[in-house]
Amino acid sequence: MVRPRTFFDFTIADVSAGRVVFELFNDVVPKTVEKALSTGELGRSKYSDIPLHYKGSVVHRSVANFMIQGGDFTRGNGKGGESIYGEPFDDEDLTRPLDSEALLCMANKGPNTNGSQWFITLKDCPHLNGKHVVFGKVVSGFEIVKKISEIPTDEKSRPLQPVVISHCGELELRKVPPKAAPARGRSTSVSSTERKKKRRHSSDSRGSESESEDRRRKHKHRSKKDKEKGRSSKDRDRTKKKSRRSRSPADERDREGGGRATSPHEETLEELDARLEREEKERIAAARRKEIEEMKKRAADEGSSGGVRFKGRGRMKYRDPELDRRDRDEQRLRY
């Protein structure tokens, strides 16, 4: 059984605050849930000649962290209200506890005095269990109820800004349209031909996918070969450059004069690396010999300066000529 849903559109100080949607427990309290006051379908009251609906009524009481109350569409101060049955009606079911926030309950003046006034809980109210009928709950827009409860009130808990139900009504449940049944006869053959076409198209697509995969593999293999060729050509160019760089002047003169190279065969990369390493060692050894010769020359100059050695930035230090002579002799023996 689908429970009905109704709504209240609230305004605060003539400014729209939003919509609150309720789900009504018509499977438990059908008489209390009768939603004529939300839809206004019963027209005007036979007793007071007032329209029987909540549109235009106010929230006349608000207690922070407890509840907000409304539904007095006759006087608007909590002393009026009228049920669709004319007279107050009896409590239908008092077994459901007020054990949470957002519950929609009937307000009354005592047992079996239900009219049109309602209240919405802001927290659980165990002290009201067995005294008020719970006939719905808020399923959407409870933040608007909290906003209303935060409005400042006077000493009688009446909001200082007017909170009005600008519109109310019942929400309709949309039904999903049924799917059309497939037609018989000729259309069946058409659908079978379409299925055959789809199968053929899927097989063609699979074939094209396999062909494209083969093309990708061939392209990948070809690109690998091209890369290897490029690497080998680069190695050859590098070898040629090194061989040109390592040629002696005599080889260059022989090449310019039309003579043949002295080497009987072309130098390999390993031979070239070994020769370059050998030349580098020879260059380091020559530089070392040159440095030793310069050190000897400096030592000889210091020995001929009369025992005085200049060191650093302007500082002088005495050296014994006999010690200098002994050091020079040791250096000659060492080298």
Q: Is position 61 annotated as part of the catalytic site?
A: yes
Active site residue 8: no
Catalytic-role residue among 3, 42, 66, 309: 66
Please return the burial class of 121, using the count of CB atoms within 10 Å of its CB with bins 0-12, 13-18 and 19+: buried
- 77 has catalytic annotation: no
Structure tokens at 72: 């007095």
Which position among 3, 89, 94, 128 bears the catalytic label? 128
Q: How far apart are CA 194 and CA 210, in angstroms?
A: 24
Question: Is 222 a residue of the active site?
Answer: no
22 is annotated as an active-site residue: no
119 has catalytic annotation: yes
Catalytic residue among 5, 8, 132, 135: 132
Can you tell me the distance from the alpha carbon of 322 to that of 331, in angstroms, rounded to the nearest whole number? 14
- From the list 114, 119, 122, 135, the catalytic residue is 119
**What residues contact residue 212 under an 8 Å CB cut-off, 6+ apart?**
none
The closest alpha carbon to 112, from 129, 126, 95, 94, belongs to 94
Catalytic residue check, 128: yes
Instruction: Select which of 24, 25, 61, 104 is catalytic.
Output: 61
Three-state SS string over the chain comes to CCCCEEEEEEEECCEEEEEEEEEECCCCCHHHHCCHHHHCCCCECCCCCCECCCCCCEEEEEECCCEEEECCCCCCCCCCCCCCCCCCECCCCCCCCCCCCCEEEECCCCCCCECCCEEEECCCCHHHCCCCCEEEEEEECHHHHHHHHCCCECCCCCECCCEEEEEEEEECCCCCCCCCCCCCCHHHHHHHHHHHHHHHHHHHHHHHHHHHHHHHHHHHHHHHHHHHHHHHHHHHHHHHHHHHHCCCHHHHHHHHCCCCCCCCCCCCHHHHHHHHHHHHHHHHHHHHHHHHHHHHHHHHHHHCCCCEEEECCCEEEECCHHHHHHHHHHHHHHC
For residues 121 and 101, the answer to whether their CB atoms sit within 8 Å is yes
Active-site residue, selected from the candidate residues 89, 108, 171, 272: 108
- Catalytic: which of 5, 22, 24, 69? 69
Residues carrying an active site annotation: 61, 66, 69, 108, 119, 128, 132
